[in-house]
Structure 1
Amino acid sequence: MLTMLVVDDEIYALRGITQGIDWGDLPFTDILEARDAAEAKRVLESRQVDLVVSDIEMPGDNGLELLRWIHANRPDTLTVFQTGHARFDYAREALQLGCFDYVLKPVDHDLLKDIVSRAVTEIQTRRQRQAFEETLATYRSQWAAQLPILVERFWQDLLAERIPLAPERLNRQLESYGIPFRADGRVLPVLLSVEEWSVELDARDESIMEYAVRKAAVEMIPGEHAGTALQDRGDLNLLLLLLGPDEQVDRQALLERCGQYVEACQSYFHSRLSCYVGQPVRVEELSASLDGLLQMERSNVTASQSVLDVSQGVEGAAVSGGAGALLPSFADWAVLLDNGAQEELQKQLEDAVRRLQEQAASRETLEQFRFGLLHLLYQTAHRKGVSVYESLTVTELNDPQVLRSPQLLLQWASRLIGKTAQAFQDRQKDTSAVIAKIHAYILENLEKDLNRDDIAKSVYRNPAYLSRLFRKETGLSLSEYITQQKIDRAKRMLTETNDKISNIAEGLGYYHFSYFAKLFKKMTGLSPQEYRKKHQTL
């Protein structure tokens, strides 16, 4: 509830506002009176006042001097001023000092009530923002003090397949980190795809709120199962349900909890997101399972703020232990594929298959070779943010005929490597084209209130995927880039035109001038007026 203070040295004008207007439909618990600026200051010092409606022309300290005092001592209090036609220069000065609005005398009560109604909306908006900032500050503190860095790094390394999967060694690491999971268990992955924030956040605060989203996922989704949340090296937000080898999951209940989580994120974190729910898989299959979820996310351009269920797990492959001297170093091959050295990789592939043929390799060895190559493809694709299923089909990947002979294995491996390398090249070209289209779209629509959904629709991409892609390629979040471009255009207009500063702000979608001025000074170090005075050449 709110408190309003009315200040006027004319008793009839004062009572006309406090008692002659029906304020019953606005959330005021108290409407106070003061006959001059000195009395108003005493009221403001003794209690919280949300809105001051004051005359400018008063004996003693006038309304402008009261406004300066309010800014210095009660900066959260909004002000509305009354002024006569003869002293309109007072109203202009009041606006420059940051008052919310003004009304001309004699006061039109309906007009004043409309202005006060808008002021109430502004106060409530500020309160909501302050509450959100307090929530943000709370999670910022928790993020800094409680983030389990070592555990998250362990899962990041495991997802990137940099941790040996030998059961005994893996179990020792799990036990040392206090992770309630065993090497013979299964993992059910859930991709938490953040599509949009309904408030503007810079890159740092967005990272902090993503931490809050992950923390909430651990609290709401696993139910009776163990779970952990993390952000992998590709900025994917993930929840992993950690299951025993025979532990069953009530699928319907899990999907319902995911739906409740999606709604809660909208309400408490101003975040619109979707959950992509996988199937339980063994640890060595986890990377491939995530590829399937990513493919599902990239293909989704219509179902926003949803829970999407993968109908079956995506089967991946990992290198089997005890490969023997016949098998090549797939890690070295991954470097070649990653760097686009396809000709050298093809030469080493042919040499390796020739050795298999010369030494009459067994079917088991051929199978180990096949698993090693699949592991190489999944690992490299995941590192580049590409799904192998963009260029290869499940049939191609799992063709059982390739194990009949080394020659068939060579043909199969050459075909898969060639298609994957081409997909990497095409993706890089496509990424460059998409980023260029985004730049153009933003520059053409700076006057609008741009958001991730509009931008994603313009290039036919999923919003969450597009946001990660843009940050990876440019080093900026979409909101930071949009703000940067708007301020750059404002700087040009301030130096190249004589347009009113308020008109320039509105033309860039900033309808609250004080917010624009504050943002401009934060970006340039100067107020708009100071910048124009310093740089204008007209």
Structure 2
Amino acid sequence: MLTMLVVDDELYALKGITQGIDWSDLPIGTILEAESVAEAKAHIERQTVDLLISDIEMPEANGLELLRYIREASPQTLTVFLTGHARFEYAQEALHMGCFDYVLKPIDHDVLKGIVARAIEEVERRREQADFEKKLDDYRRQWVSQLPILVDRFWRELLEGRFGRSSDRLDREFAQLDIPLTAEKGRVLPILLSVEQWDVELDSRDESIMEYALRKAAAETIMGERAGTVVQDPGEFSLGLLYLGESDTPDRQALMGRCRQFVQACRDYFHCRVSCYIGSVVSVGEVPAAVERLLQLERANVTASQVVIDAAVGGEEAQGGQSIALPSFLEWGTLLDNGRQDELVRAIEATTDQFAREAAGRETLELFRYGLLHLLYQAAFRAGVSIYEALDPSDLGDSQAIRSPLALKTWSVRVVRKCAEAFQDKMRDSSAIVAKVQSFIQDNLQAELNRDDIARSVFRNPAYVSRLFRKETGLSLTDYITQCRIERAKRLLAETNDKISRIAEDLSYVHFSYFAKLFKKMTGLSPQEYRKKHQIMR
């Protein structure tokens, strides 16, 4: 409930407002009265006043003096002025100092009540904004003091494939980190949170802070009371992980509703555009592959923005434990990811030679072939390549591959070599994309560049382009644009006599003071100092 203070040196006018109007249907808990500015100040010193209704013309000290005092002592208080004289200079000064409204006496009580109702809406809006800003400050302090946290690091390592196939190790980690899962029966529902565009300009540090705040907000909004976490993947995207028991069945419609609330909150409070991709329920060991499927879906989405997509394909069951000893395909996948194909080929040859020596049966050869195919599918997802770009259908369906250990060796080496070559081509394509992005930015420094426009220039998803650019250059798109503009400004300052304000404007800096401050921050000199120094040196 709010507190309202009414100030008027005319007692009848004062009582007419406090007692002659029915305020019961508005959220006003306390109504205070004051017949002078001094008495009003005393009220404000003793308690919080949310709304002030005051006569502007009073003996000794007038309402404008009271407003000046409020701006210092109680800036959250909204003020409505009443006056019997239409003096423009009073209204001008009152509005300049931030009064909410300014009306002439006599005023109809219903009109005044309507003004107060609007003022109350503004008070509540400011309270919500203040609460949000306080929460954001709390998140910022947590980000500084708590990173990295153990749970976040654990999921990063699992997604990077550092845990191998050891169920015992996973169970120890789950117990130590109080994660309600087991390696054998635990299930996870992954949710990819894709930041498509920031609607405000952020440097790398501020973007990291805001992304941390987004993850905290996602944990509160999407996870709610359910067990789970939101982490930052090594690929620099955010990932929600909902923990599920063996018999848990998530309400996907309710989950989509919470994701839509999160998307809306990002637009309203965090000044960014976000989409959510909800995956299938998978076992712990299948989480990396499930995340790759979501990333593939995100990369394919080049048109829809701020959407929630349920990517579940359903019915996928993990195969049970195997009694036959096979190599660690997860470790082999790491070799392929890191370009160590020769080492992988040697391991394949050693394994298939052992199959030959031990006269391995058809079932062992089939299991090996299926395991290697699964490895290649996962590696292709991680590389952003369709398996059909790397292999022919005849490679995938070659039934003769399991005729013998020698045939299996020949087939395995061939498909691994072909996949490794396709992945290398993809890496070169990625470098080409970054080069095109850099060229587009260089050619459009005078424009209001944003991530959507940049991504459109290379026909890719904005979030994917942003991550790829940072991965290859070490810079965010925003930092690279700023760097290029300042370098262009340095050249123009040294080589031309154009006005500094014109140079700033041509580089899309509307506010010269911002340009000058940024230029000095990056060069150590003001634009004037830089021009004087470098034109003398020519």
TM > 0.5 fold call:
yes
Aligned to 2:162: 162
Tell me if 1:298 matches 2:299: yes
After superposition, residues 207-246 of structure 1 pair within 5 angstroms as 207-223=208-224, 225-246=226-247
Aligned partners of 2:292 and 2:382 also within 8 Å: no
Query: How much does 1:297 deviate?
Result: 0.8
Deviations 1:455-511 (A, max 9, x none): 000001110011010001001000000001111111111111111111111111111
Q: Distance in 2 between matches of 1:399 and 1:315?
A: 24
Q: Distance in 2 between matches of 1:471 and 1:129?
A: 32
Aligned to 1:502: 501
Q: Distance in 1 between matches of 2:471 and 2:285?
A: 27
Q: Distance in 1 between matches of 2:398 and 2:327?
A: 21
Deviations 1:226-258 (A, max 9, x none): 221111222121001111111111111211211
Paired residue secondary structure (2:182)? coil
Go from structure 1 to structure 2 and tell me whether the alpha carbon gap of 1:309 and 1:331 turns closer, same or farther (over 3 Å shift): closer
Aligned to 2:510: 511
Q: Distance in 1 between matches of 2:452 and 2:357?
A: 57
Q: TM-score, normalising length from structure 2?
A: 0.70
Q: Distance in 2 between matches of 1:285 and 1:162?
A: 14
Deviations 1:37-81 (A, max 9, x none): xxx9xx98995599xxxxxxxxxxxxxxxxxxxxxxxxxx99xxx
Aligned to 1:308: 309
Query: How much does 1:346 deviate?
Result: 3.8
Aligned partners of 1:316 and 1:375 also within 8 Å: no
Deviations 1:150-177 (A, max 9, x none): 1111111222232255545433321211
Deviations 1:93-115 (A, max 9, x none): xxxxxxxxxxxxxxxxxxxxxxx
Paired residue secondary structure (1:221)? helix
Aligned to 2:260: 259
Query: How much does 1:413 deviate?
Result: 2.6
Q: Distance in 2 between matches of 1:526 and 1:272?
A: 36
Paired residue secondary structure (1:304)? coil
Aligned partners of 2:493 and 2:530 also within 8 Å: yes
Aligned to 1:10: none
Query: How much does 1:404 deviate?
Result: 5.9
Paired residue secondary structure (1:498)? coil
Aligned to 1:189: 190
Query: How much does 1:264 deviate?
Result: 0.8
Which residue identity does 2:506 align to in structure 1?
G
Aligned to 2:116: none
Go from structure 1 to structure 2 and tell me whether the alpha carbon gap of 1:152 and 1:387 turns closer, same or farther (over 3 Å shift): farther
Aligned partners of 1:218 and 1:228 also within 8 Å: yes
Paired residue secondary structure (2:223)? coil
Tell me if 1:445 matches 2:444: yes
Query: How much does 1:373 deviate?
Result: 2.5
Q: Distance in 2 between matches of 1:337 and 1:274?
A: 31
Deviations 1:256-288 (A, max 9, x none): 211111111111111211111101011122111
Equivalent pairs counted in the alignment come to 429
Aligned partners of 2:165 and 2:330 also within 8 Å: no
Aligned to 2:141: 141
Which residue identity does 1:499 align to in structure 2?
D
Aligned to 2:202: 201
Go from structure 1 to structure 2 and tell me whether the alpha carbon gap of 1:382 and 1:136 turns closer, same or farther (over 3 Å shift): farther
With 192-201 and 353-362 compared, the bigger mean Cα shift is at 353-362
Q: Distance in 1 between matches of 2:259 and 2:269?
A: 15
Tell me if 1:524 matches 2:489: no
Q: Distance in 1 between matches of 2:428 and 2:318?
A: 29
After superposition, residues 97-496 of structure 1 pair within 5 angstroms as 136-147=136-147, 149-183=149-183, 184-223=185-224, 225-312=226-313, 324=325, 327-328=326-327, 330=329, 333-334=332-333, 336-342=335-341, 345-346=344-345, 348-370=347-369, 372-374=371-373, 376-377=375-376, 380=379, 391=390, 405-406=404-405, 409-410=408-409, 412-496=411-495
Aligned partners of 1:191 and 1:275 also within 8 Å: yes
Paired residue secondary structure (2:208)? helix
Aligned partners of 1:291 and 1:387 also within 8 Å: no
Aligned to 1:20: none
Q: What RMSD over aligned residues (CA atoms) do the two structures have, in Å? A: 3.9
Deviations 1:332-354 (A, max 9, x none): 74565345454564455344324
Which residue identity does 1:181 align to in structure 2?
L
Q: Distance in 1 between matches of 2:197 and 2:471?
A: 17
Q: Distance in 2 between matches of 1:509 and 1:144?
A: 33
Which residue identity does 2:180 align to in structure 1?
P
Which residue identity does 2:235 align to in structure 1?
G
Go from structure 1 to structure 2 and tell me whether the alpha carbon gap of 1:292 and 1:311 turns closer, same or farther (over 3 Å shift): same
Query: How much does 1:136 deviate?
Result: 5.0
Which residue identity does 2:215 align to in structure 1?
R
Q: Distance in 2 between matches of 1:400 and 1:222?
A: 45
Paired residue secondary structure (1:230)? strand
Unaligned 5+ segments in structure 2 are 1-52, 57-63, 76-95, 98-127
Which residue identity does 1:508 align to in structure 2?
L
Go from structure 1 to structure 2 and tell me whether the alpha carbon gap of 1:162 and 1:393 turns closer, same or farther (over 3 Å shift): farther
Aligned partners of 1:448 and 1:508 also within 8 Å: yes
Aligned partners of 1:234 and 1:383 also within 8 Å: no
Aligned partners of 2:296 and 2:381 also within 8 Å: no
Aligned partners of 1:319 and 1:371 also within 8 Å: no
Unaligned 5+ segments in structure 1 are 1-28, 33-39, 51-76, 79-127
Aligned partners of 1:157 and 1:163 also within 8 Å: yes
Q: TM-score, normalising length from structure 1?
A: 0.70
Go from structure 1 to structure 2 and tell me whether the alpha carbon gap of 1:148 and 1:378 turns closer, same or farther (over 3 Å shift): farther
Aligned partners of 1:289 and 1:315 also within 8 Å: no
Aligned partners of 2:164 and 2:330 also within 8 Å: no
Aligned partners of 1:273 and 1:305 also within 8 Å: yes
Q: Distance in 1 between matches of 2:241 and 2:340?
A: 35
Aligned partners of 1:289 and 1:316 also within 8 Å: no
